[in-house]
Structure 1
Amino acid sequence: MGSSTPSALLLLVAFLLNLLPATPWSRPPLAHLQVFTNFDCKANVHGALPKPRCQRNLWEGPSLPLPRLTLNTVHQCQQPGCQSCVRVHLALNATGISGLKLNFLVLTTNRFGWLRILKKKRNQMYTGNVWQVHLNCFPVENGQRVLVTLETIPAGMLRLNQSLFVASKQSGPEFHYTWLPEAQAFEVSAPEGPAVMVRLCHQLALGCEELDPPFHQQALVSRNRTALLPYGLLLPCLCIEASYDHQDSLRKKVCPFRDQPEIFGRDLWSSTQFEDSSNSDKNEMGMLLRSRCLIHPTASLCWKENVFPGAVCQDIPNSTATRLGQEYILEEVDVHPQLCFKFTYKNLSHVKCPHKADPAWTVSLSVTFLQLHLRFHSHVPSSFSSALCQLQTSGRCEPEPPVYTITHPEGSAPGVLDLILPWRSLNHCVLVWRSDVRFAGKQRLCPDVSHRHWGLLAFGVSLTLGLLITIILLIRWGLHRLHKDAPSRRSSRPILLIYSPDSEEHKKLVCAFATLLRSALGCPVLLDLWELGHVARLGILPWVYAQREHVGREQGQVLLLWSAGSARAYALWRGKASGDGRKAPEPHDLFGAAMACLQGELQARQEPCGRGTGSSPTSVNCVAGGTFPVLYAFFPATACLGN
């Protein structure tokens, strides 16, 4: 019995100790001391500090005046008695500095420790002179004061001191406010209790920064004393902060418009600075954003039909930009003054276009008879596509097939590219865009149908209308004979148009003739000038062979437009040089490829235009298993000079 009494007492003492609250030093310490810097670093500690972990992390907050050492309290939980710690942020000019040392001293207990941060010698990522260091965080108990001292390595270049009283976690002082939008101010008062100091501030990453003058005032309020706090701009980070009128008082903040974009929308974008960082040589579009609030909107591309401020900006699908800090970058873009960034934040949108006025390429449109002439001026290697579109009453213009493409190859000097399109009707326009990049806007060009331009068109019509009508009648007469000979053939057989590239004017006339031929006969016309992109990818010989096989399968016709240039080229091709120094057409030329295809027919008839020529359609076996007729049209109206 005597021996059991001490044992019972020990068990009772152990039970009572378990009921007591844990002492502050019985809590588990923080696992690591997090050290974030904007340079590659290494860290070590001594004394009452956890093991450090140094990480490189770019600072995205607002720039601080140099040098700067700020402290603030962080509570690990919301319940009373939880562990607290002191968070440190510093910014300094690091010229001539290889590292720094932070000394921590708890004044009430004399607990001491230091943290040393050194810059790694081989630091290739950061070359600036401003160091940003964020420490999270030095553990301390509530009700204690901490002194933090900054020293540089080597010593003597800079020394900063800052102290902080760590209070218990409380709700802070109570206050009431009324928004007065007409006066652009808040009326603030306090309920029963001690007087409260109030001010307006902008809530940023580390704290609430005071407003710029003249809106940086503070006021003391109570139940019987109100204060009017004016502001300049309504922003989502605009807050009212209150504290008691003594040092290291607890603070309480209310941000009235944080989630009300319909109120702060206009002021948010007007207070934001946009800096263009695009690089047209790299096909890269960028925009740097600086805002008074720490916001991260999303950004995508849109295209403005014109440069007027109120013009609608059409969204470009799947064009979300990548954000690097406060800069937004998108690659493979046709950098153009009408291609803009569309920033979106909390259902608010703002369009910002590049400041560069000179694009990498321009295009102009001119009108001739039944055709549209596009002229491109490009400073960079690129490809351009265009398509006709029908202008609607709503203002939209949807592209219609086919799509015409022309290329300014890599390594070529800046120059001029010409593209000729058929013109279908007065309400047709042309959409033009750069097609060698992922993101590009479509420019809409509409022909000028003013009286002056119609006078020029009428003059051109008067010169060519009679000629074209005559040729169309001849072609229809030839096709009518073919229809009589083969009534079972379809009426929509294709026509392959072969010509000699005498001049640019001759090409325009060929395009006009092809357009009129397609409209008059209602059958597809195969013309290389309408498929420049396809011809560039395949090459002229594969394209001619492919069209030849297609005509053979569909029982179509080959139409050879014979001109004075065709006669000279044919004579050179046959070895009958005219002595003018010109070279015979090569096999990679359209006319040379056609001559090679029609070689059997041409050998049977010594010259298609000249002595002893005939004009009746014949059959030519140019491809194995495929036979199609060849028609001749003398174009322009140049009669055969033979007897």
Structure 2
Amino acid sequence: MQFDCFPAKEGQRVDVSLKTIPDGMLNLSKSLIVADKQPGPEFHHTWVPAKRAIEVSVVPEGPAIIVRLCHQLALECEELQQHFHQQERVSSHRPALLPYELLLPCLCIEASYEQPDSQRKKVCPFRDLQEAYGPDLWSSTHFQDYSSSNKAEMVMTLSNRCLLQPNASLCWKESATPEAFCQDIPNSTATAGPDQEYVLEEVDVHPQLCFKFSFGNSSHTECPHQTDTAWNVSVSVRFLQLHLHFHSRIPASFSSVLCQRLSPSHCEPDPPVYTVTHLEGSSAGELDLILPSWVLRSCVLVWRSDVRFSGKQLLCPDVSHKHWGLLALGLGLGLGLLVTVILLVRSVLSKLHGDAASKCCSRPPILLIYSPDSEEHKQLVCAFAALLRSALGCPVLLDLWELNLVRQLGILPWMYAQREHIDREQGQVLLLWSAGSAHAYGLWRGKASAGSRLAPEPHDLFGAAMACLQGELQGAPGAMRQSEWVIAYFSKLCGRRDIPRALRLLPRYRLPQELPGLVRVLQGPSSSAPSWLRARAKTLVCRLLKAERKKGLRSRLYQPWKTSTGRLAGSLVPLAHPHLRKPNYT
């Protein structure tokens, strides 16, 4: 057996006893008086870096000694690995060359005389040598990764041959190649536990989000050992817009912002930030985020935004050589090459004269209200809001684009803050009505059963908007500006009769047929909708219907039926769909 070391001073008596259980099999007792401290063996050493060895010699006429290399730990000097562990006899006529595997700060030379229990002497020549804190130091360290994407936690333990405790923080690698630069992430320091365990919570575990270990002037980057990711994103250009397609197997929020690339490693963000969320409890699914505008040479930064630490991925669509063909394909919904050229010229002119245009033209904002019928319907809302912003050049206020702010304020404070902003800026509130809105309105009024449909709660966006609208409709005459609230609905998603009687005094517009009238109400009588806006709005609805049919929904959300009087009325078909859940803004 071997017992741990402990210090003893000169003149002290050390007693060691051992007995077995049961008694009588073995019983040992030893004593030792610690001798007075005497000078240890004298020797010289020379570092031979070319041979990765240390030469040891003794002074002339000096007694022979036994030398070895070892790694100095807390109290003992641990022998090197078997291939490099050797003890050599050194005399005045015969020096010894001791090879080492790695140049480490704890590499020491230990010498003693040939007789038993002789005084030992240790010299550690590399503690202050800068070369000892280089690649060999990190090669001697073993890293074990315990990170978990499901727990949003990065955990890494390390064990090394020297008792060193490096500092650790996070950094984001520009690419997966080993030599890629790793950009430091501020305020991401991890402290080591008792077993050299470094833990950081609320982290987007990603192969390019790594631990950066530092000791002195040396550093080493160690990335998660798992290569699969909990989510991924792809980008495509369609209709002069950036379409981001997310696939996530965990509940998470993802944000993006357009940026102008100034250098290979730097892209200047151009607010606002847009966010989409994969709700908790949902199975692995697909999410789409449509950014409202795009110009040539623009890129987008994408990151997971529901955690404290995440890296921003830079995505730049490749249109360097075949951008005419790609853009024509993106616009290929019946618009033709001529419209593509016109839009490209318009995009370039707006980029060159954007400052002048912003000074001479100030559009009133639009607050877009909707009912969260399904994830596909939310994508339709985002796409329609992006179209309005691109075509009309006005700010569109949408909670799906400001989820970070919504989480900070709460949905009700956010809703009323936007309502006050609309009132100050003489803007409009656009209520995008759907079959789900009619059912949600009945639930809000307490006149319908939840069934399998989405049951709005008092603290959701739709319920807050209905409460605000009802208060303004019942207020004093003149309290609400004329046409301040506008209702629009897509003809293939619901009918005019789905709008409650209490709201039929508000202006109502059928889309895409009555888009020009809606544009004039939103932006003034002199405004006109671009020729491509109606076709694009129609395409969005077709895409929504196609997506829902793929998921097993009924092909028609609105179905006519006859009343007892023989008249046709609107019948809402209940939809059983895995995505029709309560909205979660937390």
Q: Please state which band the TM-score falls in when normalised by the shorter chain.
A: 0.5 to 0.7
**1:178 matches 2:46:** yes
Distance in 1 (CA, whole Å) between partners of 2:76 and 2:325 is: 72
**1:363–1:241: structure 2 CA closer, same or farther, 3 Å change rule?**
same
Does the Cα contact within 8 Å between 2:141 and 2:159 map onto a contact in 1?
yes
Partner of 1:510: 384
Partner of 2:226: 356
Does the Cα contact within 8 Å between 2:155 and 2:198 map onto a contact in 1?
yes
Deviation of 1:349 (Å) = 0.3
Partner of 2:121: 252
Partner of 1:636: 534
Does the Cα contact within 8 Å between 1:340 and 1:352 map onto a contact in 2?
yes
Residue type of the partner of 2:52? Q
**1:159–1:491: structure 2 CA closer, same or farther, 3 Å change rule?**
farther
Deviation of 1:173 (Å) = 1.4
Does the Cα contact within 8 Å between 1:165 and 1:248 map onto a contact in 2?
no
Per-residue CA deviations over 1:238-282 (Å, capped at 9, x if unaligned) read 111111111111111111111213245221111211111223322
Deviation of 1:214 (Å) = 2.9
Does the Cα contact within 8 Å between 2:486 and 2:506 map onto a contact in 1?
no
Partner of 1:100: none
1:268-279 alignment runs, 5 A limit: 268-279=137-148
**1:68 matches 2:2:** yes
Distance in 2 (CA, whole Å) between partners of 1:609 and 1:419 is: 25
Residue type of the partner of 1:397? C
Residue type of the partner of 2:289? L
Per-residue CA deviations over 1:136-186 (Å, capped at 9, x if unaligned) read xxx43xxxxx45123356657987777655221233111111111112222
Partner of 1:294: 163
Deviation of 1:236 (Å) = 1.1
1:178-197 alignment runs, 5 A limit: 178-191=46-59, 192-197=61-66
**1:336 matches 2:206:** yes
Distance in 1 (CA, whole Å) between partners of 2:262 and 2:178 is: 23
Does the Cα contact within 8 Å between 2:431 and 2:486 map onto a contact in 1?
no
Does the Cα contact within 8 Å between 1:303 and 1:314 map onto a contact in 2?
yes
Q: Return the structure number with greater relative CO, CA threshold 8 A, min gap 6.
A: 2
Distance in 2 (CA, whole Å) between partners of 1:181 and 1:503 is: 69
Does the Cα contact within 8 Å between 2:71 and 2:106 map onto a contact in 1?
yes
Q: What runs of 5+ residues in structure 1 fail to find an aligned partner?
A: 1-66, 76-82, 85-138, 141-145, 474-488, 575-582, 621-626
Deviation of 1:495 (Å) = 3.2
Partner of 2:260: 390
Partner of 1:322: 191
Secondary structure, in 3 states, of the residue corresponding to 1:457? Answer: helix
Which of 288, 306, 310 aligns to 1:436? It is 306
Deviation of 1:364 (Å) = 1.9
**1:549–1:468: structure 2 CA closer, same or farther, 3 Å change rule?**
farther
**1:323–1:546: structure 2 CA closer, same or farther, 3 Å change rule?**
closer
Partner of 1:168: 36
Partner of 1:104: none
Distance in 1 (CA, whole Å) between partners of 2:308 and 2:198 is: 17
**1:149–1:392: structure 2 CA closer, same or farther, 3 Å change rule?**
same
Higher helix share: 2
Distance in 1 (CA, whole Å) between partners of 2:510 and 2:293 is: 32
1:372-391 alignment runs, 5 A limit: 372-391=242-261
**1:537–1:372: structure 2 CA closer, same or farther, 3 Å change rule?**
farther
Residue type of the partner of 2:388? A
Give the % identical residues: 57
Does the Cα contact within 8 Å between 2:369 and 2:429 map onto a contact in 1?
no
Does the Cα contact within 8 Å between 1:555 and 1:628 map onto a contact in 2?
no
When normalised by structure 1's length, the TM-score is: 0.62
Q: What runs of 5+ residues in structure 2 fail to find an aligned partner?
A: 344-358, 443-452, 471-484, 488-500, 539-586
Partner of 2:74: 205
**1:459–1:590: structure 2 CA closer, same or farther, 3 Å change rule?**
farther
Deviation of 1:458 (Å) = 0.9
**1:568–1:630: structure 2 CA closer, same or farther, 3 Å change rule?**
farther
Does the Cα contact within 8 Å between 1:557 and 1:629 map onto a contact in 2?
no
**1:253–1:618: structure 2 CA closer, same or farther, 3 Å change rule?**
closer
Per-residue CA deviations over 1:424-464 (Å, capped at 9, x if unaligned) read 32222221222222221112222232556752421343546
Partner of 2:546: none
**1:185–1:332: structure 2 CA closer, same or farther, 3 Å change rule?**
same
Distance in 2 (CA, whole Å) between partners of 1:601 and 1:71 is: 87
Secondary structure, in 3 states, of the residue corresponding to 1:516? Answer: helix
Distance in 1 (CA, whole Å) between partners of 2:436 and 2:143 is: 62
1:398-409 alignment runs, 5 A limit: 398-409=268-279
Does the Cα contact within 8 Å between 2:19 and 2:26 map onto a contact in 1?
yes
Distance in 1 (CA, whole Å) between partners of 2:518 and 2:152 is: 56
**1:231–1:619: structure 2 CA closer, same or farther, 3 Å change rule?**
closer
Residue type of the partner of 2:127? R
Per-residue CA deviations over 1:325-383 (Å, capped at 9, x if unaligned) read 22222222222111111111122101111111122222222221122122222222222
Secondary structure, in 3 states, of the residue corresponding to 2:329? Answer: helix
**1:567–1:464: structure 2 CA closer, same or farther, 3 Å change rule?**
farther
Does the Cα contact within 8 Å between 1:372 and 1:423 map onto a contact in 2?
yes
RMSD: 4.7
Secondary structure, in 3 states, of the residue corresponding to 2:178? Answer: coil
Secondary structure, in 3 states, of the residue corresponding to 2:331? Answer: helix
1:475-624 alignment runs, 5 A limit: 491-496=361-366, 507=381, 510-517=384-391, 521=393, 523-527=394-398, 530-531=401-402, 533-534=404-405, 546-556=417-427, 597-598=485-486, 603=504, 608=509, 615=517
Does the Cα contact within 8 Å between 2:275 and 2:400 map onto a contact in 1?
no
Deviation of 1:296 (Å) = 1.2
Distance in 2 (CA, whole Å) between partners of 1:362 and 1:278 is: 18
Residue type of the partner of 1:171? P
Higher strand share: 1
Deviation of 1:592 (Å) = 8.8
Larger Rg: 1
Partner of 2:172: 303
Distance in 2 (CA, whole Å) between partners of 1:316 and 1:71 is: 42
Deviation of 1:403 (Å) = 1.4
Deviation of 1:419 (Å) = 1.5
